[in-house]
Chain A
Amino acid sequence: MSANATLLVPSRSRGWRMGLANMLDKEMGAFWRTRRWWVQCLIALLLLNGSLALNLKGGQRVDNAGLNFLVIAALGVPVAAISLAQDSILGERHSGTAAWVLSKPLRRPAYVLAKTIAHGLGLLVAWIVLPGAVAYFQLASPTGGQLSALRIAGIMGLDYLNLLFYLTLALMLATFFNGRGPVLGIALVLAWSGPMPFISEPIQKYVPWLYDVLPWRLLIDFNYNRPLAGYLANGQPLPTVVPIIATALWCVLFTGVAIWRISREEF
């Protein structure tokens, strides 16, 4: 035994926060202290800003190029969130690392929250802030600096809410299913059925209210309603905030259900 054993200060955190700080630090490290951060940043820049650059170079009008940027964000950002999130919990359940860390003084809510927060922050920088900032400069130069940074920030805020929806959804699904198929399948179908015209048309016809309670209207809308991002881009007041509130509530609900489910999981 070490002579300095008494100098160590035992951890005092208890309740749902037990182990949260350490687990969060580990999750942040898994993003920022590995190559994951620059890989994600690179993919986001190539996909979002690369396509924007091509559109602008191809002579597209700034508003059309901006719209295309939103289309790619609406389709691509959820994929990044879903693929990272599903592997985070499902991969650990399969490998046995989840059982290992949960045998330590770590509460299960803290385990889920650490993953949600760390992925949420990592993806915020890689897929929202960085491409958003670059997109601002890409779009600002052809408009002679007329583009409002505040509007871009608002649009990227909607983009982030959309991302959080799919991140928390995938984390929740990963606590329910053992296979990657159902997690990826359900999350991706949900992510793409709103923007895809051939799927969204019947939804618009039979269950149009889904557009108010899901994040589909936040960024793009190929049908009747203009997306909320479009209003922000044009400097117009938002016609409704219901999709924003509903999406935020879904994120809270998904996280709550993920915590409930993992608390009942046996390893």
Chain B
Amino acid sequence: MASSTPFVIETHGLSKTYKGVQALKPLDLYVQQNSICGFLGPNGAGKTTTIKLLLGLARPTGGSGRVFGRDIEQENDEIRHRVGYLSQDPRFYEYMTARETLRFTARFFYEGPKAEIESRVAETLALVGLADKADRPIKGFSGGERQRLGIAQAQVNYPDLLILDEPAASLDPIGRRDVLEVLSRLRKHTTIFYSTHILDDVQRVSDTVVILNKGALVAQGPIEELLARGQAAVFTLTIKGDSASVEARLRSQPWVTGMEEMSRNGRVCWQIRVSDPEVAEAELVPLALAGGGVTVCEFGCKVQNLEDVFLSIVKENNHER
């Protein structure tokens, strides 16, 4: 690393305005070395804008950013030598084959020797499962094959930082699994910063998560911390019987912050959000049974997954605005 910073990516108040619209509000972002950081947010949250600013494809309106300790505006050439990038909708020269595309990409990073470049290209094609299609023109490639090629070109230089914008977007489940495997394999050597909508994937491979909403940072931290944030605050209760009176009784409790009916099929299942998990754990079942004529079929603390946390954070954030 060029500086002593432990962060590969570090931004301070980085912002971007397009024609009067603030696409990215001042962002303080920190991504540690050799981590896999999932970059989440709804469409239009500012994820791609952030990535483009880091790569020098767009200029910040305010703030600053450093990658490998180097300024993203002044020293972007040096940054790009050490970064691999896959765009959201990867486009290549259609007349080239996959091998030619990787050779072309590799030559931006290496002068030679030719044999070594060819060997690296072949190795990368094999890594993404395109070895058998290496000499076919790209114009005949499917969306999934293009995405694999995109991942291959992003890491043909064994980058210190891999920035991937929706790497699994157009892949089938097997392709997605392969991509996650590649990411896991690369984590020993590189830092991976990737945006995605597939929260299950993030939970499987990421160490840290950054969540943007409407151009602003709403959460950032290790994935365990984020998952623990909402843990035990949501209970599920399934009853058979007079659900209206149970619902009224539960809603009247000051520590019940929300109730959401999940299903009604002879039984009623609620997801109950509470402010005091300990009281809730002790009181919910007795309260449900208090009026009589009700059977509790199921009761438990809901295990939060990243999707729940993400949706709750974004929802919370939308209400605040």
Cβ-based interface call for B85 (8 A)? yes
B95 near A30: Cβ-Cβ < 8 Å: yes
In the complex where A4-B116, A22-B104, A266-B59 touch, is A99 in contact with B87 (Cβ < 8 A)? yes
A2 near B59: Cβ-Cβ < 8 Å: no
Interface bits A12-39 vs B (CB < 8 Å: 1, else 0): 1010001100100110001000100000
The residue that B77 contacts in the complex, of A7, A22, A105, with Cβ under 8 A, is A105
Cβ-based interface call for B239 (8 A)? no
Cβ-based interface call for B243 (8 A)? no
Cβ-based interface call for B89 (8 A)? yes
B57 near A99: Cβ-Cβ < 8 Å: yes
Q: How far is the CB of A97 from chain B (nearest CB, A)?
A: 5
Q: How far is the CB of A254 from chain B (nearest CB, A)?
A: 24
B87 near A107: Cβ-Cβ < 8 Å: no
CA distance A194 to B120 in the complex (A): 54
CA distance A20 to B235 in the complex (A): 61
Cβ-based interface call for A207 (8 A)? no
Nearest B residue to A14 by beta-carbon distance?
Answer: B77
CA distance A161 to B194 in the complex (A): 48
The residue that B123 contacts in the complex, of A2, A10, A30, with Cβ under 8 A, is A2
In the complex where A8-B110, A10-B109 touch, is A266 in contact with B58 (Cβ < 8 A)? yes
In the complex where A1-B189, A100-B91, A267-B58 touch, is A7 in contact with B116 (Cβ < 8 A)? yes
- Count B interface residues, CB 8 Å: 33
Cβ-based interface call for A145 (8 A)? no
- Interface SS of chain A: helix, strand, loop or mixed? loop
A95 near B87: Cβ-Cβ < 8 Å: no
B57 near A266: Cβ-Cβ < 8 Å: yes
Q: Which of B86-108 contact A (CB under 8 A)?
A: 87, 89-93, 95, 104-105, 107-108
CA distance A5 to B116 in the complex (A): 8
CA distance A103 to B116 in the complex (A): 23
In the complex where A11-B108, A267-B57 touch, is A103 in contact with B95 (Cβ < 8 A)? no
- Interface SS of chain B: helix, strand, loop or mixed? mixed
B77 near A8: Cβ-Cβ < 8 Å: no
Q: How far is the CB of A204 from chain B (nearest CB, A)?
A: 44
A95 near B91: Cβ-Cβ < 8 Å: yes
Cβ-based interface call for B286 (8 A)? no
In the complex where A99-B57, A100-B87, A266-B58 touch, is A7 in contact with B104 (Cβ < 8 A)? no
Q: How far is the CB of B16 from chain A (nearest CB, A)?
A: 9
Nearest A residue to B123 by beta-carbon distance?
Answer: A2
CA distance A164 to B185 in the complex (A): 50
Cβ-based interface call for A197 (8 A)? no
Cβ-based interface call for B68 (8 A)? no
CA distance A224 to B198 in the complex (A): 71
Nearest B residue to A108 by beta-carbon distance?
Answer: B56
CA distance A162 to B175 in the complex (A): 52
Q: Which residues of A contact B93 (CB under 8 A)?
A: 26, 30, 97
Cβ-based interface call for A57 (8 A)? no
The residue that A8 contacts in the complex, of B57, B90, B95, B117, with Cβ under 8 A, is B117
Q: How far is the CB of A5 from chain B (nearest CB, A)?
A: 6
B91 near A97: Cβ-Cβ < 8 Å: yes
Cβ-based interface call for A205 (8 A)? no
CA distance A103 to B110 in the complex (A): 16
The residue that B119 contacts in the complex, of A2, A9, A100, with Cβ under 8 A, is A2
The residue that A7 contacts in the complex, of B85, B89, B92, B113, with Cβ under 8 A, is B113
Cβ-based interface call for A96 (8 A)? yes
Interface bits B112-129 vs A (CB < 8 Å: 1, else 0): 110011011001000000
Cβ-based interface call for A102 (8 A)? yes
CA distance A14 to B80 in the complex (A): 12
Cβ-based interface call for B52 (8 A)? yes
B108 near A22: Cβ-Cβ < 8 Å: yes
Cβ-based interface call for A106 (8 A)? yes
In the complex where A8-B117, A12-B111, A26-B104 touch, is A96 in contact with B52 (Cβ < 8 A)? no
CA distance A12 to B107 in the complex (A): 11
Q: Which residues of B contact A100 (CB under 8 A)?
A: 87, 90-92
Nearest B residue to A102 by beta-carbon distance?
Answer: B57
Q: Which residues of B contact A107 (CB under 8 A)?
A: 77
Nearest A residue to B81 by beta-carbon distance?
Answer: A105
Q: How far is the CB of A205 from chain B (nearest CB, A)?
A: 43
CA distance A4 to B115 in the complex (A): 11
Q: How far is the CB of B319 from chain A (nearest CB, A)?
A: 33
Besides A5-B158, A100-B92, 8 new A-B residue pairs in contact (Cβ under 8 A), listed by A number:
A4-B119, A8-B113, A9-B113, A10-B81, A26-B104, A103-B87, A104-B109, A106-B108
**Chain B contacts to A: CB under 8 angstroms:** 52, 55, 57-59, 77, 80-81, 83, 85, 87, 89-93, 95, 104-105, 107-113, 116-117, 119-120, 123, 158, 189
Query: Can you list 8 A-B pairs with a CB-CB distance of less than 8 A?
Result: A4-B116, A11-B109, A12-B111, A18-B77, A100-B87, A103-B55, A106-B108, A267-B58
